[in-house]
C-alpha cells in the first residue's frame, strides 16, 4: 500500500531491516543470526505464484497487495473473557500471545502442569537450550522450500518454547492462544508467532493451539510451529484456526518424530480470507504412529488450503490421515496431501482420506492426494471424494418426517462429527464440537443445530 | 520317473524339526514318519503348531527352520523350493485358501497340473483335455461347473474354498497330501463329500496327513495313526482309538502330561 | 491377432530387428524449409502448409518442454532429428502387390499380415512404417458403407474438407510443446471417418513401426464418428533395438457426435531400452477425444509395456450432455523404464460420466506414475466420476506414484477417487508355488489377474497379446 514501487518481497525485507535497526537490535545474537539467515532465504525464494506447483490453486495476490507492517506490542488491554470460548476450563494452563507478543498478564502455567515454558525475544536475552534448537531446526528445514516459513522466522516477535521433560505426563491440556487485535488504523499488521515444542523421552503432552482475531480487521498471521517428539513420547495437538474474515493466515507446522513416538493432530480451519497451512511430519525412527486429521469449513469468498506431507523415512511406521471439508458460498478449498515412503521405510502402513462436501454451486474444491512410494513391502492407500449431500441419507431423514432444510443441516453436522470423533481428549472434543456447531450455525445451516454427539 | 524310488525308506521322515516364525519358536522337535498307503491324523489344541508344521512341509518362506531335517522320498525336502515340492507330489490343502483376483480357477489349475505332469515326464494337457479331466474331478467333490471360470477362491464361501482345495488335490494327484483343517467350516453334507473325495483318491502308493482338532472328521477318514501335537511337540501317538479318547477327555490331561 | 502374433512373445524384445530398406529422408534438423519440404513431398494443398507453418511458428516461441513431470531425461536436440523418412520404393498404391517385398516381410515378422491373401480376418489394418502409411487393407469394402479408413496423406488429398473441418479441433497446435511440434512436422498417420448411423463392422487397426535410425516419428490419427456411428480402433507399435533414444511424438484426435461411440485401444510395445536404460523410445504422445454430441461415448484402453519413457494422458472432453468417458490402463515398467501416464476427464455437459481404472506395475528400477485430472465445471450438473488406481510393486528398487488432481465446481456432482499401493501378495505367490507353478509364471499370473479389469476391455485378440506382453515385460524382475 505504502510504497508502490517496491515489490512485496522488498517491502517485507525493508520492514525486517527497519526493525533490526530499532528495537530488534537488542535481541540475543543467536536469534539475530537465525533471523538474518531466514530473511536471506526468504529473499532467495520470493513469494510463490500460481505457476508454482505447490501454489497452483492458491493465488496470494490479495495478500501481496496489502503490504502488512510487522506488529507492535498491543496498546489496548485484552480482557480475559474473550479467551474463555477457547478454554477447556477456566483455570487450564494457558499461554497467550497478543499480536505475536507474549502476554504475561493473561498467561498462567502453574508449575504443577509439569512443563517448562521459555520465551526468547529482545527483552529476555536468553541462550537457547538444546531442545529449543532442535525444535527450531524443524522450522528452518521447512523454510528451505516455503517462503512463508522463512518470513515467519525472520519477522517473529517472540519465540515460545514448551519443554516437556523426559517422562513427564502432562494431563492438563496446555492452551496456546494467538490473538490478533490490531485493527490497523494506519497500516494493517502482521504478526509472526513462533511456537516450539519439545517432548522428551516417554513424556506426553496435550496441546490446544488457537489462532483468532478481530472479526473484521485486515491483518495477517504468518506463524510457524516446530515440534520434536522424542522416543516413546506422545503429543496430542489440536489446532483451531478461526481468524477474522478478512485476515490472511499462513501457518507452518513442522514435526519430527523419533522412534516409537506418537503424534495425533487435529486441525480445525474456518477463518481467514486466505488461509494456508503447511504441515510436514518427518518420521525419523522406527515404530512411530502418526494421526493427522482435520476439518475445514469455508464460506463466502474464503480460500482454505492445506498442504500436508508425511515423510516415512524409517521402517514399520503407520500413518493415518483424514481431512474433511465443508465448502460453500463462493469459497475455494484446496487439499494437497502427500505421503512419501522412502526406500528404507519397509513395512509402512499408511492411509489417507480427503472427503469434501460441496454445498454450493459457486464453490470449488481442488484436491490432490499423492502417494510417492519407493519401498515395496508397504500398504498405502488414499481416497478422495467431492460431492453434495448423500441423497440416500437425505431421503432417509425425510422419510422420518424431517424436512429438507433440517435434514441437510443434520447430515452436514454429522459429516463434521465423523472426524472430530478422532480427537482423543474428551474435553477438547467437546470444545471443538461446540466451535463447529457455532460456525456452521452462522455460515451454513438454515435451522437450529443440535449438539454433535459421538 | 522315480524308478530309484526308495524301497525300505519311509516316504516322509521328520527328524527333530524345530521351526520359528518372527523370532518365536513354534515347532520344538517334531519326529514323525509316514509310509506309503498310510493316513496320519495330527490333532491338538489351537495354536499348538499344526498349521506351522503343514506350512513348513510345503515350504512357506515365513518360517525359519532352526534345527532338524525332513527326508521325503529319500531327498532333503527342506532344500527344495516350494514349487519343486509340489511338482514332486507334496500337496497342501490350506487352512485358509488364498484368493487370486482376476485369475480363473481353471487357468490356475491347468498351469499347476501341466507343471506337475512335465516333472513326472507326462505330456502336458491342452485346454480341451484339461477341461474334460476337470469336469470329471469336479463330480467327485460335487462342485458346480460354474466355478471353473471364477477367479481362484474369490468370493467363495468357506465351504466352497475347502471343496476347491480337494478338487485341486484330485486333479494334481499328490503323493503326500496334507490337509490342514479341511473339515472346519463345513456342514455335515460338505464334510461327507470332502471326506469321500479324499477316500476316493486314496491309493497304496500315496499317503495323507490330516490335520484337525475335531474327532468328527475321523469318522469319515479313518486314520492309521493319530498324533497329538501340543506346544510344538508330538506328545502322544497311537491308533485311531486315541482320537476317541481325546474327544472324551479333551486335551487337558495330555497337556498336563506333556508339561511334567 | 493372427497366429504369428501368438507366438511372438516368449523372450526379450523380439521386434528389435532392423529392416534393410532404402529410405527417402529429409535432411536432419528443423527449419521452416524442412516443413515446406515435407509438405511438398506429400504434395499437400496449401491450407495444410499454412497450418503446419502456424504451428511451427508457435513452437518456436515455446522455449522449453514442460517441466512438471516426475522424471527428467537428457535434453533432446531437435536439430539432430530426421523429421521425415519414408521407404523409397513407396509408390502411390494401387494394389498391395506393389508394396516392397521387404516391407511386407517386416510386417509378417511382426505378426501383422497386410497382404491380400493372408489378411487377418475381420481387422482392417493401416500400417505406418517410419513416417508414412504403407498399406491400408479393407479400404474398399469399408468404403461401400461410406467409411473412410486410409492414411492421413491420402485423406488430405481425397477428403480435404473433412480434414479442414476436424484437424486440430480437439488438440490445437497451441496445446503443448509436443503437439505444436507434431502439427508442424507430422508425416502421416491414419484417418478414419464413420458416417452417420454406421456401425463399423470390423476392428480398424493401425500398426506403427519405427525403422530408420535417428528419425523421430510424428504421426497423427484423426477419428470422426458422426451421429449414431460406432467404431473400435486398435493401435500397436514396435521399433528396432537401437542404443540411442528416438522420439515418438504423436497426436491422436477423436470426435464423437451425438450418440456416437469410439473405442480406442493401444498396445504399446516400443523398444524400452536395455537393462541399463540405454536406448529406447521416448513416447511423448497427446491423445484426446471430444464427446461433442449428447449421449456420446469415448473409451480409451491402453496397455503400456514398452518405451524408455512413456508420457501421455489420453483424455476426454465431455461436452455433450449424458456423454461418457472411460480410461482403462495397464502400465508396466521394468529395468530403467519410466511411465508418467493417466488421463484427464473434463466434465462440461450435464449428466456426464467418467470411469478411470488404472493398474500400475513397477519392477526393476522402473518408475511408474499415475497422473490424472478430473475436472467438473459449474455447468456439469449431476456429473459422476469414479477413479480406481492400484499399483503393485515387484522388488524394492522401483517406485510407484499416484498424483490425482480433482477440481470440482458443481455441487450436484460426485467425484470419487481411490488408490492403493502394495507389494505383490506373498501368500498368493506361495499358493501358486504350492500348486507347482514356478515363481516367474506365478508372478505373471498374479499380475495378469491384477490387470484383468483393464484387459477385459480390449478386443479378444489384443487381450491375448497384451497378457503375453505383460509376462515378457516382467521377465527377470524377480530373483
Ligand atoms: N506369522 C506368524 N507370526 C507370529 N506368530 C505366528 C505366525 N504364524 C503362527 N504364529 C503363532 O504360532 C502358533 C502356532 O500357530 P499354528 O501353527 O497356526 O497353530 P494351529 O494350526 O495348531 O492352531 C500360534 O501361537 C500362532 O499365533
Ligand atoms: Mg491351524
Q: Is B210 helix (H, G, I), strand (E, B) or coil?
A: strand
Torsion of CA A252, A255, A256, A259, to 10 degrees: -170
Q: Pocket around ligand 1: residues whose beta carbon is below 6 Å from it?
A: B 21-22, 24, 26, 44, 46-52, 62
pLDDT band at B3 (very low <50, low <70, confident <90, very high): very low
Confidence at residue C204, expressed as pLDDT on a 0 to 100 scale: 86
Q: Are A309 and A346 in contact (CB under 8 A)?
A: no
Question: Model confidence over C359-408: pLDDT tens digits?
Answer: 999 999 999 999 999 999 999 999 999 999 999 999 888 999 999 999 99
- Domain end among A218, A249, A284: A284
Q: Give the least confident one: B91-95, C126-130, C140-144, C383-387.
A: C126-130
pLDDT for C130 beyond 80: no
Tell me what pLDDT residue C116 has.
44
Report CA dihedral (A128, A130, A131, A132) to the nearest 10 degrees: 30
Residue A297 lies in a domain: no
Q: What is the mean pLDDT of residues B19-42?
A: 95
Could you give the number of structural domains in chain A? 2
Query: Looking at the complex, does the CB of residue C420 fall below 8 Å from at least one CB of chain B?
Result: no
- Please check the confidence at residue B224 and state whether its pLDDT lies above 90: yes
Closest CA to C181 of C282, C284, C86: C284
What separation in angstroms does the CA of B232 have from each of B23, B51, B171, C103?
15, 11, 32, 69
Q: At C112, is the pLDDT very low, low, confident or very high (cuts 50, 70, 90)?
A: low
For residue A295, is pLDDT > 70? yes
End-of-domain residue from the set A225, A250, A284: A284
Closest CA to B29 of B246, B231, B225, B224: B231
Contact of C320 with C350, CB cutoff 8 Å: no
Tens of pLDDT, residue by residue over A18-27, are 888 876 667 7
> Mean pLDDT score of chain C, rounded to an integer?
84
* Mean pLDDT over the full length of chain A: 92
**Which whole number is the average pLDDT over C258-271?**
91
Residue with cell 513407396: C90
Same domain for A418 and A273:
no
Q: Which residue of C has its CA nearest to A56?
A: C405
Give exposure, B71-85, as e/b (b: 16+ Cβ within 10 Å): bbbeeebbebebbbb
Residues of A in contact with C407 (CB under 8 A): 57, 364-366
pLDDT > 80? residue B162: yes
What rounded mean pLDDT belongs to chain B? 89
- As a residue count, chain C comes to 479
DSSP B61: T
| H or E element that contains A430 | helix A426-443
The tens digit of pLDDT for each residue in A91-144 reads: 889 999 999 999 988 999 998 899 999 998 877 767 899 999 999 999 999 999
Q: Which range has the top average pLDDT, A1-10, B29-38, B194-203, C109-118?
A: B29-38
Is A429 contained in some domain?
yes
Please give the average per-residue pLDDT across A245-272, as a whole number: 97
Between chain A and chain B, are at least 3 CB pairs below 8 A? no
Give the model's pLDDT for residue A215: 84
Cell of C461: 485378440
Which of C110-139 are b and which e, b meaning 16 or more Cβ less than 10 Å from the residue's Cβ?
A: bbbbbeeeebbeebbbbbbbbbbbbbbbbb
Kindly state whether residue A296 falls inside one of the protein's structural domains. Answer: no
Task: Please give the pLDDT value at position C70.
Answer: 77
- pLDDT beyond 50 at B250: yes
Looking at the domain assignment, is residue A320 inside a domain?
A: no
CA distances, C200 to each of C141, C147, C326 (Å):
11, 8, 20
Question: Could you tell me if C302 and C272 are in contact, meaning their C-beta atoms sit under 8 angstroms apart?
Answer: no
> Where residue C276 falls among pLDDT bands split at 50, 70, 90?
confident
Please tell me whether the overall predicted TM-score, pTM, comes out greater than 0.90 for this model.
Answer: no
Residue written as grid cell 543467536: A30
Rounded Cα distance, C319 and C323, in Å: 7
Tell whether the model's pLDDT for residue B5 goes beyond 60.
no
Mean pLDDT of A36-44: 95
Q: Which three cell numbers stand for residue A365?
A: 474444491
Q: From chain C, pick out residues whose CB is under 8 angstroms from the CB of A55.
A: none
pLDDT of residue A187: 65
Q: What is the pLDDT of residue C470?
A: 79
Answer whether C319's CB lies under 8 Å from C289's CB. no
Ligand nearest to the CA of B48: 1
Domain extent at residue A227 = 2-284
User: What's the pLDDT at B258?
Assistant: 61
Residue ranges and CATH numbers for the domains of chain B are 3-259 (3.40.50.300)
φ, ψ (nearest 5 deg) of residue A23: -60, -30
- Whether residue C294 contacts residue C322, with contact meaning beta carbons closer than 8 Å, is answered with yes
| pLDDT at residue C134 in the model | 60
Give the pLDDT of residue C328.
Answer: 97
Structure confidence at residue C6 (pLDDT): 28
Look at residues B212, B241, B168, B245 and name the one whose alpha carbon lies nearest to residue B45. B212
Q: Do A408 and A271 share a structural domain?
A: no
User: How many angstroms is it from B30 CA to the middle of ligand 1?
Assistant: 16
In 3-state terms, what secondary structure has residue C190? strand
Query: Pairing mode, if any, of strands C148-151 and C190-194?
Result: antiparallel
B39-43: strand order across its sheet: B90-93, B176-180, B207-211, B39-43, B225-230, B233-238
CA B57 to centroid of ligand 2, rounded, Å: 14
CA C348 to chain CA mean position, Å: 25
The answer to whether A149 touches A142, Cβ cutoff 8 Å, is: yes
**Is the pLDDT reported for residue C99 higher than 80?**
no
Query: Average pLDDT, stretch B193-201?
Result: 84
Minimum CA–CA partner of C383 in chain A: A387
> What pLDDT, on the 0 to 100 scale, is given for residue B6?
46
Instruction: Classify residue A378: in a domain, yes or no.
Output: no
**Nearest of A237, A245, A238 to residue A213 by alpha carbon:** A245
Q: Which residue of C has its CA nearest to A53?
A: C68
Nearest ligand, CA of residue B52? 1
Subunits in contact with chain C (3 or more CB pairs closer than 8 Å): A, B
Per-range mean pLDDT, top range of B144-153, C24-33, C227-236, C250-259: C250-259
Lowest mean pLDDT among A396-400, C160-164, C200-204: A396-400
pLDDT of residue A126: 78
User: Measured between beta carbons, which residues in chain B are less than 8 angstroms from residue C439?
Assistant: 83
pLDDT given at position C76: 85
Which residue out of C358, C378, C410, C424 would a mutagenesis test of the A interface target, given it has the greatest number of A Cβ atoms within 10 Å?
C410
Answer whether C252's CB lies under 8 Å from C224's CB: no
Residue A157: how many other CB atoms lie within 10 Å: 23
C128: pLDDT strictly greater than 90: no
Q: Is the pLDDT of residue C108 over 80?
A: no
Going by the DSSP 8-state scheme, the letter that residue A128 receives in this structure is P
Residue A406, in any domain of the structure: yes
* CB hemisphere CA count around C178 (13 angstroms): 23
pLDDT per position as a tens digit, A309-360? 999 999 999 999 999 999 999 999 999 999 999 999 999 999 999 999 999 9
A75-79, B155-159, C396-400: range with lowest mean pLDDT: A75-79
Residue A24 lies in a domain: yes
Q: Which of A284, A304, A338 is the last residue in one of the domains? A: A284
Contact status, residue C271 vs residue C239, Cβ threshold 8 Å: yes
Query: Which stretch, A181-185, B140-144, B231-235, has highest mean pLDDT?
Result: B231-235
Summarize pLDDT for C289-336 with one digit per residue, the tens: 999 999 999 999 999 988 899 999 999 999 999 999 999 999 999 989
Which candidate, C111, C118, C81, places its Cα nearest to that of C96? C118
The whole-angstrom separation of Cα B70 and Cα C433 is 19
Question: Going along A299-378, which residue ranges are E strands?
Answer: 303-312, 318-327, 332-341, 349-358, 364-373
Query: A450 lies in a domain?
Result: yes
What does the pLDDT average to over A415-423? 92
Query: How many contacts, defined by CB atoms under 8 Å, are there between A and C?
Result: 117
Task: Compute the average pLDDT of residues C186-205.
Answer: 90
What are the C-alpha distances in Å from C93 to residues C96, C135, C157, C172?
Answer: 7, 8, 14, 31
Please compute the mean of the pLDDT values over residues A172-186 and round it to a whole number. 83
Amino acid at each position: 500500500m505504502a510504497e508502490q514501487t517496491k515489490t512485496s518481497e522488498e517491502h517485507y525485507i525493508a520492514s525486517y531491516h527497519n526493525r533490526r535497526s530499532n528495537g530488534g537490535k537488542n535481541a540475543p545474537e543467536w536469534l539475530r543470526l537465525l533471523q538474518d539467515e531466514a530473511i536471506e532465504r526468504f529473499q532467495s525464494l520470493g513469494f510463490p505464484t500460481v505457476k508454482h506447483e505447490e501454489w497452483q490453486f492458491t493465488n496470494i495476490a490479495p495478500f501481496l497487495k496489502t503490504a502488512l507492517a510487522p506488529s507492535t506490542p498491543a496498546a489496548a488491554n485484552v480482557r480475559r473473557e474473550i479467551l474463555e470460548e477457547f478454554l477447556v476450563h477456566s483455570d487450564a494452563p494457558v499461554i497467550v500471545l497478543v499480536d505475536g507478543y507474549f502476554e504475561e498478564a493473561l498467561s498462567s502455567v502453574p508449575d504443577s502442569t509439569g512443563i517448562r515454558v521459555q520465551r526468547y525475544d529482545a527483552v529476555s536475552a536468553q541462550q537457547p537450550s538444546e531442545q529449543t534448537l532442535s525444535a527450531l531446526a524443524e522450522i528452518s528445514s521447512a523454510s528451505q522450500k516455503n517462503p512463508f516459513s522463512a518470513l515467519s522466522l525472520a519477522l517473529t516477535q517472540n519465540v515460545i518454547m514448551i519443554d516437556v521433560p523426559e517422562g513427564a505426563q502432562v494431563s492438563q491440556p496446555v492452551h496456546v492462544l494467538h490473538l490478533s487485535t490490531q485493527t490497523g488504523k494506519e497500516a494493517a499488521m502482521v504478526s509472526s508467532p513462533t511456537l516450539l515444542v519439545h517432548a522428551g523421552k516417554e513424556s506426553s503432552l496435550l496441546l490446544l493451539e488457537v489462532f483468532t482475531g478481530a472479526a473484521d480487521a485486515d491483518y495477517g498471521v504468518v506463524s510457524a510451529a516446530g515440534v520434536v517428539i522424542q522416543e516413546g513420547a506422545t503429543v496430542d495437538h489440536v489446532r483451531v484456526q478461526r481468524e477474522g474474515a478478512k485476515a490472511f493466515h499462513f501457518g507452518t507446522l513442522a514435526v519430527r518424530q523419533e522412534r516409537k513416538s506418537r503424534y495425533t493432530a487435529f486441525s480445525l480451519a474456518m477463518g481467514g480470507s486466505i488461509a494456508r497451512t503447511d504441515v510436514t511430519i518427518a518420521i525419523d525412527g522406527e515404530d512411530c504412529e502418526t494421526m493427522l486429521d482435520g476439518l475445514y469449513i469455508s464460506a463466502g469468498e474464503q480460500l482454505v488450503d492445506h498442504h500436508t506431507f508425511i515423510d516415512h523415512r524409517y521402517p514399520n511406521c503407520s500413518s493415518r490421515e483424514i481431512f474433511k471439508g465443508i465448502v460453500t458460498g463462493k469459497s475455494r478449498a484446496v487439499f494437497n496431501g502427500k505421503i512419501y515412503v522412502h526406500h528404507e521405510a519397509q513395512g509402512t502402513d499408511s492411509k489417507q482420506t480427503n472427503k469434501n462436501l460441496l454445498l454450493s454451486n459457486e464453490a470449488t474444491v481442488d484436491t490432490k492426494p499423492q502417494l510417492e512410494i519407493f519401498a515395496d513391502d508397504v500398504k498405502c492407500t488414499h481416497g478422495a471424494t467431492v460431492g453434495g449431500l448423500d441423497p440416500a441419507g437425505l431421503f432417509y431423514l425425510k422419510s422420518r418426517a424431517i424436512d429438507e432444510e433440517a435434514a441437510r443441516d443434520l447430515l452436514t453436522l454429522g459429516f463434521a462429527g465423523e472426524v472430530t470423533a478422532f480427537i482423543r481428549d474428551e474435553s477438547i472434543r467437546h470444545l471443538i464440537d461446540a466451535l463447529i456447531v457455532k460456525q456452521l450455525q452462522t455460515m451454513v445451516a438454515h435451522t437450529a443445530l443440535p449438539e454433535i454427539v459421538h | 520317473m522315480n524308478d530309484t524310488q526308495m524301497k525300505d525308506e519311509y516316504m516322509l521322515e521328520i527328524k527333530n524339526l524345530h521351526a520359528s516364525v518372527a523370532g518365536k519358536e513354534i515347532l520344538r522337535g517334531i519326529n514323525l514318519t509316514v509310509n506309503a498307503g498310510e493316513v496320519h491324523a495330527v490333532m491338538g489344541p489351537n495354536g499348538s503348531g499344526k498349521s506351522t508344521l503343514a506350512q513348513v512341509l510345503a515350504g512357506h518362506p515365513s518360517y525359519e527352520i532352526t534345527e532338524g531335517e525332513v527326508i521325503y522320498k529319500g531327498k532333503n525336502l527342506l532344500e527344495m523350493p516350494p514349487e519343486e515340492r509340489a511338482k514332486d507330489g507334496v500337496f497342501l490343502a490350506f487352512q485358509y485358501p488364498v484368493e487370486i483376483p482376476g485369475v480363473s480357477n481353471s487357468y490356475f489349475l491347468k498351469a499347476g497340473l501341466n507343471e506337475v505332469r512335465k516333472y513326472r515326464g507326462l505330456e502336458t494337457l491342452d485346454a480341451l483335455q484339461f477341461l474334460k479331466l476337470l469336469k470329471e474331478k469336479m463330480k467327485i467333490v460335487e462342485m458346480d461347473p460354474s466355478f471353473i471360470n471364477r477367479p481362484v477362491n474369490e468370493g467363495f464361501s468357506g465351504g466352497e474354498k475347502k471343496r476347491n482345495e480337494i478338487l485341486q488335490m484330485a486333479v494334481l494327484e499328490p503323493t503326500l497330501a496334507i490337509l490342514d483343517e479341511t473339515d472346519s467350516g463345513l456342514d455335515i453334507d460338505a464334510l461327507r463329500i470332502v471326506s469321500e473325495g479324499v477316500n476316493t483318491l486314496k491309493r497304496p502308493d500315496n499317503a495323507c496327513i490330516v490335520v484337525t482338532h475335531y474327532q468328527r472328521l475321523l469318522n469319515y477318514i479313518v486314520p492309521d495313526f493319530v498324533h497329538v501335537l501340543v506346544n510344538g511337540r508330538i506328545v502322544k501317538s497311537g491308533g485311531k482309538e486315541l482320537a476317541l479318547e481325546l474327544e472324551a477327555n479333551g486335551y487337558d490331561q495330555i497337556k498336563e502330561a506333556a508339561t511334567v | 491377432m493372427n497366429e504369428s502374433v501368438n507366438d511372438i512373445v516368449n523372450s526379450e524384445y523380439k521386434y528389435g530387428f532392423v529392416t534393410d530398406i532404402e529410405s527417402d529422408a529429409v535432411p536432419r534438423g528443423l527449419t521452416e524449409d524442412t516443413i515446406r519440404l515435407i509438405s511438398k513431398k506429400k504434395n499437400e494443398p496449401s491450407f495444410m502448409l499454412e497450418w503446419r507453418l502456424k504451428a511451427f511458428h508457435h513452437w518456436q516461441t515455446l522455449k522449453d518442454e514442460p517441466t512438471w513431470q516426475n522424471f527428467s531425461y537428457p535434453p533432446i536436440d531437435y536439430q539432430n532429428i530426421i523429421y521425415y523418412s519414408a521407404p523409397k520404393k513407396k509408390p502411390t498404391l494401387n494394389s498391395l502387390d506393389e508394396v516392397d517385398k521387404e516391407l511386407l516381410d517386416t510386417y509378417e515378422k511382426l505378426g501383422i499380415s497386410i497382404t491380400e491373401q493372408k489378411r487377418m480376418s475381420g481387422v482392417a489394418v493401416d500400417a505406418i512404417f517410419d513416417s508414412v502409411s504403407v498399406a491400408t487393407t479393407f479400404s474398399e469394402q469399408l468404403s461401400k458403407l461410406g467409411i473412410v479408413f486410409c492414411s492421413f496423406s491420402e485423406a488430405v488429398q481425397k477428403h480435404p474438407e473433412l480434414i479442414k473441418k476436424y484437424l486440430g479441433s480437439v488438440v490445437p497446435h497451441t496445446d503443448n510443446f509436443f503437439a505444436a511440434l507434431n502439427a508442424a512436422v507430422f508425416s502421416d498417420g491414419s484417418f478414419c471417418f464413420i458416417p452417420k448411423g454406421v456401425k463399423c463392422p470390423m476392428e480398424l487397426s493401425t500398426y506403427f513401426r519405427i525403422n530408420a535410425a535417428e528419425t523421430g516419428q510424428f504421426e497423427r490419427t484423426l477419428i470422426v464418428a458422426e451421429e449414431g456411428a460406432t467404431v473400435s480402433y486398435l493401435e500397436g507399435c514396435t521399433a528396432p533395438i537401437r542404443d540411442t533414444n528416438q522420439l515418438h511424438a504423436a497426436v491422436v484426435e477423436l470426435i464423437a457426435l451425438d450418440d456416437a461411440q469410439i473405442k480406442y485401444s493401444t498396445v504399446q510395445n516400443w523398444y524400452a531400452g536395455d537393462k541399463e536404460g540405454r536406448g529406447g523410445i521416448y513416447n511423448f504422445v497427446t491423445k484426446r477425444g471430444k464427446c461433442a454430441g449428447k449421449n456420446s461415448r469415448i473409451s480409451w484402453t491402453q496397455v503400456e509395456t514398452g518405451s524408455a519413457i512413456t508420457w501421455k494422458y489420453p483424455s476426454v472432453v465431455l461436452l455433450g450432455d449424458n456423454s461418457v468417458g472411460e480410461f482403462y490402463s495397464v502400465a508396466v515398467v521394468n529395468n530403467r523404464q519410466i511411465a508418467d501416464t493417466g488421463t484427464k476427464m473434463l466434465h462440461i455437459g450435464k449428466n456426464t460420466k467418467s470411469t478411470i481404472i488404472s493398474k500400475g506395475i513397477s519392477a526393476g528400477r522402473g518408475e511408474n506414475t499415475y497422473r490424472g485430472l478430473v475436472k467438473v465445471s459449474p455447468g456439469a450438473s449431476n456429473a459422476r466420476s469414479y477413479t480406481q488406481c492400484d499399483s503393485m510393486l515387484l522388488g524394492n528398487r522401483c517406485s510407484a506414484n499416484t498424483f490425482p488432481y480433482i477440481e470440482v465446481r458443481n455441487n450436484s456432482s460426485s467425484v470419487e477417487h481411490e488408490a492403493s499401493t502394495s507389494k505383490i501378495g506373498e501368500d498368493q505367490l506361495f499358493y501358486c508355488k504350492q500348486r507347482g507353478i514356478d515363481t516367474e509364471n506365478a508372478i505373471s499370473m498374479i499380475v495378469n489377474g491384477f490387470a484383468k479389469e483393464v484387459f477385459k476391455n480390449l478386443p479378444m485378440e489384443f487381450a491375448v497379446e497384451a497378457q503375453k506382453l505383460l509376462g515378457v515385460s516382467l521377465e527377470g524382475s524377480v530373483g
